[in-house]
DNA sequence: AATGAGATTGACCGAAGCGGTTTATGGAGG
DNA sequence: CCTCCATAAACCGCTTCGGTCAATCTCATT
């Protein structure tokens, strides 16, 4: 790819990336027109092809950029340091919202890319998996102390349940357009508080 | 549309519908090739155009058929009669699994159609909304008796939480291909049991 | 065996869209 | 005035699309 891309003003770069994330997240790789991405970014198709040799290069750069942004943001929010389950979820959420603020379709793009089957790119995507950080694996790694939770609670099921609710919540908010991120963060914080209320052992 | 379609053997009809649900659920309306649907159903494109005047007619018939199947199955599983929240969820789940057994992509199709923006069909879809039955509205309608649940439990949040977890669970299982429906039903039943355990008031 | 009607298809059409290239434009710096 | 270079428009060859149509194939009836 053309290094000149990086000397573009930040907002222009971001517009291009967001165009890519939007289009590639809503269509399969093959049915995602480069022209649509260019239009979304407010530049001509030719210029986009000036920065990226071809469609594949653009796509793979987006993928790479995803990983960078994600890791960087998670680190920035201290997600790798926390030991408490709910604290981890809370900062994980804040990191996710922060990413969505800058790149609203990045999350959807990752998912689409993950399941993409086009032989032109699937192998390359498959070859770079180790970067996935999600609630499921996270929760499994956090050796939980049963004495902190309600008696007889099935901790494994609790983790899966919270994971699914997070997926469902995020998914619904991504689909629904017009996402109010502040509202979303607020809602999710309430949800975590709710979980603490019902899952943690009551001191009395 | 051509009435001759209905005198096709049941399995052929179903193959056509499933082809449509698959393709339309994974691409936008405009980028869903009729030829792909025909191929999936094992017939020629020309024959498909013999049964349905054009793409739009096919799409709208699929939409209509969705509603029929959904309502019929929900009725069949007694979803409209139950009064207990968890019982309702349980039979709702079984109905959903039953539908997925026959039409694996119907659920995904409904969602895609719901958010479709193509001016050729969006108005028609928007004009037939009242048929949506989901956990959220269901739960709101079931006037819950607080004395059955744990003290101080936020019932509204509980409903939303269960709704999101259902969405998240179903969504993850739809994406993941190779869905084992029996396994899924089993998992979901366990999840409902888990909820009863944590949400219902303990008698002692 | 011949017929005829309906089921089914392959070939075809014009239009549109695709990825990518080439040429033209316009403006800043010397 | 010239050079450079960011940018865009026009263009190219190719594919794909929705939809049509004429030709086949099937098979019950004569």
Predicted pLDDT at A82 = 82
Taking the mean position of all CA atoms in its chain, how far away is CA A113?
A: 12
Enumerate the nucleotides of strand D whose atoms come under 7 Å of any protein CB: 6-10, 16-22
For residue B175, give the nearest of A108, A65, A119 by alpha carbon.
A108
In the predicted model, what is the mean pLDDT of residues A78-85?
87
The more confidently predicted of residues B143 and B40 is: B40
For residue B162, give the nearest of A38, A31, A57, A198 by alpha carbon.
A198
pLDDT higher than 90, residue A164: yes
Phi/psi class of residue A112: alpha, beta or left (left: φ > 0; alpha: ψ in -120 to 50)? alpha
Question: Which CA distances in Å does B186 have to A165, A200, B90, B97, B191?
Answer: 18, 27, 11, 11, 9
pLDDT higher than 60, residue A79: yes
- At residue B78's C-alpha, the angle toward residues B141 and B110, to 5°, is 70
**What is the domain partition of chain A in residue ranges?**
3-199
Question: Which CA distances in Å does A201 have to A140, A148, A157, A163?
Answer: 20, 6, 16, 20
Predicted pLDDT at B173 = 80
Average pLDDT for chain A: 90
- At residue B105's C-alpha, the angle toward residues B104 and B106, to 5°, is 100
pLDDT-based confidence at residue B149 (cuts at 50, 70, 90):
very high
Tell me the C-alpha distance between B5 and B9, whole Å. Answer: 9
Residue of A nearest to B196 (CA): A153
Predicted pLDDT at A132 = 53
pLDDT higher than 90, residue B130: no
pLDDT-based confidence at residue B44 (cuts at 50, 70, 90):
very high
> How many residues in chain A?
204
Question: Which CA distances in Å does B41 have to B48, B51, B108?
Answer: 9, 13, 18
Taking every pair of Cα atoms in chain A, the longest distance, rounded to a whole number of angstroms, is: 69
Say if CB B139 and CB B159 are below 8 A apart.
yes
Q: What angle separates helix A10-26 from helix A55-76, to the nearest 10 degrees?
A: 110
In the predicted model, what is the mean pLDDT of residues B53-65?
98
CA of A19 to C1' of D18 (A): 29
Tell me the C-alpha distance between A193 and A66, whole Å. Answer: 30
Whether pTM > 0.85 for this model: the answer is yes
Which of A30-44, A82-96, B37-51 is predicted with the least confidence, judged by mean pLDDT?
A82-96
Percent of chain B, pLDDT > 90? 76
Å between A168 CA and nearest CA of chain B = 4
For residue A153, give the nearest of B197, B148, B161 by alpha carbon.
B197
pLDDT higher than 70, residue B176: no
Interface contact flag, B166 A171, Cβ < 8 Å: no
Which of A52-66, B44-58, B80-94, B109-123 is predicted with the least confidence, judged by mean pLDDT?
B80-94
In the predicted model, what is the mean pLDDT of residues B41-57?
98
Predicted pLDDT at B108 = 92
CA of B4 to C1' of C10 (A): 22
Residue of B nearest to A154 (CA): B194
Residue with tokens 């699914």: A164
Question: Which CA distances in Å does B24 have to B21, B55, B56, B118?
Answer: 5, 11, 11, 13
CA of B55 to C1' of D10 (A): 33
Interface contact flag, A161 B157, Cβ < 8 Å: no
Tell me the C-alpha distance between A91 and B90, whole Å. Answer: 34
Å between B73 CA and nearest CA of chain A = 24
Most confident range, picked from A110-119, B51-60, B77-86, B167-176: B51-60
Which 3 state secondary structure label does DSSP give B149?
strand
Enumerate the nucleotides of strand C whose atoms come under 7 Å of any protein CB: 6-11, 17-23
pLDDT higher than 90, residue B132: no
What is the dihedral angle through the alpha carbons of A31, A33, A39, A42, rounded to the nearest 10 degrees? 110
Tell me the C-alpha distance between B11 and B2, whole Å. Answer: 18
Taking the mean position of all CA atoms in its chain, how far away is CA A160?
A: 19
Say if CB A174 and CB A107 are below 8 A apart.
yes
Extended strands (E) in chain A: none
Fold (topology level) of B3-199: Tetracycline Repressor; domain 2 (1.10.357)
Say if CB B34 and CB B49 are below 8 A apart.
yes
Average pLDDT for chain B: 90
Which residues, other chains included, contact A8 with Cβ-Cβ below 8 Å and sequence gap of 6+? A16
In the predicted model, what is the mean pLDDT of residues B165-171?
90
Handedness of CA B199, A164, B110, A172 (dihedral sign): positive
Predicted pLDDT at A75 = 94
Predicted pLDDT at B80 = 87
The pLDDT tens digits for A3-61 are 999 999 999 999 999 999 999 999 999 999 999 999 999 999 999 999 999 999 999 99
The dihedrals phi and psi of B149, each to the nearest 5 degrees, come to: -105, 170
pLDDT-based confidence at residue B90 (cuts at 50, 70, 90):
very high
pLDDT higher than 60, residue B125: yes
What is the dihedral angle through the alpha carbons of A98, A99, A103, A108, rounded to the nearest 10 degrees? -130
């Amino acid at each position: 790819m053309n290094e000149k891309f990086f000397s573009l003003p930040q907002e222009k770069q971001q517009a291009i990336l967001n165009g890519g994330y939007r289009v590639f997240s809503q269509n399969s790789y093959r049915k995602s027109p480069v022209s649509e991405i260019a239009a979304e970014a407010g530049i001509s198709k030719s210029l986009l092809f000036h920065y990226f040799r071809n469609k594949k290069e653009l796509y793979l750069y987006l993928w790479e950029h995803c990983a960078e942004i994600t890791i960087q943001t998670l680190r920035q929010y201290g997600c790798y340091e926390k030991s408490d389950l709910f604290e981890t979820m809370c900062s994980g959420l804040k990191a996710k919202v922060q990413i969505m603020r800058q790149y609203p379709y990045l999350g959807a793009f990752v998912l689409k890319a993950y399941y993409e089957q086009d032989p032109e790119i699937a192998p390359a995507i498959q070859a770079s998996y180790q970067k996935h950080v999600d609630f499921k694996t996270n929760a499994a790694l956090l050796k939980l102390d049963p004495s902190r939770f309600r008696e007889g609670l099935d901790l494994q099921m609790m983790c899966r349940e919270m994971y699914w609710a997070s997926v469902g919540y995020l998914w619904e908010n991504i689909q629904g357009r017009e996402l109010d991120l502040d509202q979303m963060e607020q809602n999710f914080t309430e949800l975590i508080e709710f979980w603490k209320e019902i899952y943690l052992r009551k001191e009395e």
